Structure 1
Amino acid sequence: MENRIFFVEGRHVSIALEEQFWDCLEDIAIERDISLRTLVRRVGQQHPFDVQSALRLHVLEDVLRKTGIELTTGLVTCDLDRKYH
């Protein structure tokens, strides 16, 4: 895991994520034409008490959106013929 420090909501936040998450976050930032720092700050403003988890969920939401998979709140059975990854 790689640890990076960002300034979020008036405080320095140490964030440790797996390399794959950092790669995805960098790709998202490039797609949005913003810096990684700006992306982390924006996500952190929405979830200031757990920025690390919020970033992981942000990546998951981005991947699901790009693949067309929608999560529901109800109980859903998996389609065994469909690949989810």
Structure 2
Amino acid sequence: MQKRSITLKGHRTSIALEAEFWAALEDLAVARERSLPSLVYEIDRNRLKQDPAPGLASAIRVFILESSSSSD
């Protein structure tokens, strides 16, 4: 498990993910020509539309899984 701090909307937030998920998230950011904070911000905005809103780390994992299954 790796914990990283990312700035979202001017606020630092810590996210703990397994190394494999960080690598996949970085790959997705590169593929979409986005910065990592920009991609995480998009995931965060979308997760807050859900009721109840999942945790950010969970939302990131689901985003990665959905992205990988849609590219198959």
Identify the TM-score tier after normalising by the shorter chain. 0.7 to 0.9
Partner of 1:35: 35
Which structure 1 residue ranges, 4+ long, deviate > 6 Å from structure 2?
none
Q: Higher Cα Rg: structure 1 or 2?
A: 1
Give the match's secondary structure for 1:38: helix
Q: Residue by residue, what CA displacement relative to the aligned partner does 1:15-69 show, whole Å, maximum 9, x if unpaired?
A: 10001000100010001101111101110111245111100000000111111xx
Q: Going by fraction, where is helix more abundant, 1 or 2?
A: 2
Quote the residue 2:12 is aligned against.
12
Q: Structure 2 unaligned segments of length 5 or more: list them.
A: none
Identity %: 36
Q: TM-score, normalising length from structure 2?
A: 0.81
Equivalent pairs counted in the alignment come to 67
**What TM-score comes out, normalization by structure 1 length?**
0.70
Higher relative contact order (Cα pairs below 8 Å, separated by 6+ residues): 2
The runs of 5 or more residues in structure 1 that have no matched partner are 68-85
